[in-house]
Amino acid sequence: MSDLLADVDAFCRELRPIEELCYLERRHNEQLVPLARKYNVLGMPVPVEYGGRGADAVIYARSLARIGREGTGVRTFFSGHTSIGQYPILRFGTAEQKKKYLPSSVRGERIMAFGLTEPDAGSNPLEMTSTYRRDGNRFLLSGVKYLISNGSIADTVIVFAYPAEANGPDRRISAFIVDTAGDTLQSEDLPAKLGMVTANTGMFEMTDHPVPLENMLGREGDGFRVAMQSLVSGRMSVAAGCLGVIEDCLVEVLEYCHTRHQHGKPIGRHQLVQEHVAAIEMARATTALWIEQAAAAKQASEESPADAALATAADLQTAQAKLFAANAAWDTADRSVQVFGGRGWSNLYRVGRHLQDVRVCRIYEGTDEILKLKIATALLGKDFAAFR
* Positions that interact with ligand FAD (CB under 6 A): 80, 113-117, 122-123, 147-149, 201, 360, 363-365, 367, 369-370, 373, 386-387
Which residue, 195 or 268, has its beta carbon nearer to ligand FAD?
195
Closest distance to ligand FAD from the beta carbon of 197 (Å): 11
Which residue, 358 or 373, has its beta carbon nearer to ligand FAD?
373
Closest distance to ligand FAD from the beta carbon of 366 (Å): 6
| Alpha helices per DSSP H over the chain | 3-24, 32-38, 57-68, 72-78, 87-92, 95-106, 223-259, 271-303, 308-340, 350-358, 368-380
Closest distance to ligand FAD from the beta carbon of 378 (Å): 15
Q: CA Rg, the chain, in Å?
A: 21
Distance CA 184, CA 176 (A): 16
Closest distance to ligand FAD from the beta carbon of 3 (Å): 29
Residue nearest to ligand FAD (CB): 122
Closest distance to ligand FAD from the beta carbon of 48 (Å): 27
Fill in the DSSP letter of residue 296. Answer: H
Which residue, 267 or 371, has its beta carbon nearer to ligand FAD?
371
Instruction: Single out the catalytic residue among 220, 255, 365, 369.
Output: 365
User: Is 275 marked active-site?
Assistant: no
The helix/strand count (H/E) of the chain reads as: 11, 10
Distance CA 332, CA 355 (A): 9
Which residue, 116 or 321, has its beta carbon nearer to ligand FAD?
116
Residue 10: φ, ψ to 5°: -65, -40
Closest CA to 290 of 241, 256, 227: 241
Closest CA to 71 of 380, 333, 278: 333
Angle formed at CA 105 by CA 101 and CA 109, multiple of 5 degrees: 115
Q: Indicate the pairing of strand 112-115 with strand 156-163.
A: parallel
Closest CA to 378 of 325, 327, 319: 319
Cα separation of the two ends of the chain: 43
Which residue, 67 or 273, has its beta carbon nearer to ligand FAD?
67
Which residue, 141 or 250, has its beta carbon nearer to ligand FAD?
141
Number of alpha carbons in the 13 Å side-chain half-sphere of residue 283: 31
Closest distance to ligand FAD from the beta carbon of 6 (Å): 29
Residues annotated as catalytic are 365
